[in-house]
Amino acid sequence: MQSLAIIGAQWGDEGKGKITDLLGAKADLVVRYQGGNNAGHTIIVGDKKIVLHLIPSGILHPHVLSIVGHGVVFDPGAFLDELVKLDNYGLKVTRDNLAISENCTVITSYHRLIDTLRESNGLRKIGTTGRGIGPAYEDKAGRRGIKLRDIVHRDLLKQRLAECLAEKEVLFKHHYHSPFPSLEDETNRLYEMGHKLSPFLCDTFGLIDQCLQNNKKILFEGAQGVLLDVDYGSYPYVTSSNTSFGGIFTGAGHPNRPIDEVIGVAKAYTTRVGEGPFPTELKDGVGEKIQTVGKEFGATTGRKRRCGWLDIPLLRYSIKASNLTSIALTKLDVLTCLDELKLCYAYRYHGKELDCAYPGIDLSEVEPLYKSMPVFRDDFQTNKTSHEFETYVRTIEEMVGIPIGILAFGPERNQIIFRKAYF
């Protein structure tokens, strides 16, 4: 196996960071290809909790080359803060273990400001992370995005920022009545950071191509999850990038090759941060218990995550939409706190029973149909798991139709069972 992708199969925060860290140890390259610092990927190493937002989760392994592909929207300030944080953990990040595409689109202060103004004043609140992700992708698609390679040239940067600001200035002044940074200040801020960034910048597409020709092993680290994909997700309550399989090809490149394995990471239940429909959401004590025991707080914004039962129609959809070949099922340990356990196996929608959450259906109108499962109380101290635990896992496997290759039962590196060989 030369290539592997790790993709969130739900609404993000499925535990991708932990799986990427573990499988990344066997890879030569770990590549982020979409999203930005809206991501929060947690890795627990001993007593350290490391949350990565922009830098790929391969960075913890010194032999791995981490790559930020051109599909990522890049906030230079957030990146430099993350470098300092990693340095404090004793992790050295240099041009030998990190390459950033010079074609990443820059998130400016204007994008962040618009994001937060819209969320506080807009007609439709999405519950974004406020990191400027959507507005930066808008400018990219609008062909007025600023690329990282532009920020090391002061005059060019100022010109690009002026283009970016032209329409936004009207919004700031007349629509939102908000102060905003001057063109001069924003130019200075980004230009200064550009010099610190420039050693990491290169043509990452060419780099990936060369590495693949030299038979290097590559792992693509997805951010967010399939249900947050701008095309495949629960639109408009989504992020602004292609979080699913297709994003790899537009956001990083994998020239002339198929991807051997696409692992969909899913929690043994479902969570969501932000607004939008959530068919199996539990707005009762059971949901609260999962939230508390699972420590379900967003790794980027600290918001409480909404919690609910595992939604099989959603997983079946993610498998189709993102070509998933196996599943990593995480947070199984959290379910041991419950006195009841349910799986949503289908939806009732306009009088029909549906087993897959195709995008044509309105998720806010479905009625989830549940199967009660025997509870399990495993303490995961030995390799032996209970019959009830195995029943839960096997039932999910049979329902989704692809293998569950990984079972995770705690945040630490060793709290995992590999049922399938990867790399």
The site for Mg ion (CB under 5 A) is made up of 13, 40, 299
Over the range 76-104, which residues count as b (16 or more CB within 10 Å of their CB) and which as e? bebbeebbeebeeeebebeeebbbbbbbb
Given 19, 208, 212, 228, the residue binding ligand IMO (CB under 6 A): 228
Binding residue for ligand IMO, selected from 5, 7, 9, 13, defined by CB under 6 A: 13
By the rule CB under 6 A, 299 interacts with ligand GDP: yes
Packing angle of the helix pair 109-121, 133-141 (nearest 10 deg):
120
8 Å CB contact between 35 and 241: yes
Q: Is residue 41 flagged as an active site residue? A: yes
Site string for ligand GDP, 318-347 (x = CB under 6 A): ------------xx-xx-------------
Provide the 10 A C-beta neighbour count for residue 414.
6
Q: Which stretch binds ligand GDP (CB under 6 A): 105-113, 349-357, 374-382, 403-411?
A: 403-411
Task: Decide if residue 224 touches ligand IMO (CB under 6 A).
Answer: yes
Token pair recorded at residue 299: 């790794």
Of 9-17, 166-174, 317-325, 344-352: span binding ligand GDP (CB under 6 A)? 9-17
Instruction: Report what 9 binds from ligand GDP, Mg ion, ligand IMO, none; CB cut-off 5-8 Å by kind.
Output: none
Return the range that interacts with ligand GDP (CB under 6 A); candidates 144-152, 158-166, 310-318, 405-413: 405-413
The span from the CA of 254 to the CA of 29, in Å, is: 12
Looking at beta carbons only, is 300 or 336 nearer to ligand IMO?
300
Residues whose CB falls within 8 Å of the CB of residue 46, separated by 6 or more in sequence, listed in order: none
Interatomic CA distance for residues 321 and 315, integer angstroms: 10
Q: Distance between the two ends of the chain, CA-based, in angstroms?
A: 5
81 is catalytic: no
Based on the shown chain and the rule CB under 6 A, indicate whether residue 305 belongs to the binding site for ligand GDP: no
| C-beta neighbour count of 160 within 10 angstroms | 22
> Which residues form the interface with ligand IMO (CB under 6 A)?
8, 11-13, 38-41, 126-129, 131, 133-134, 223-225, 228, 239-240, 273-274, 299
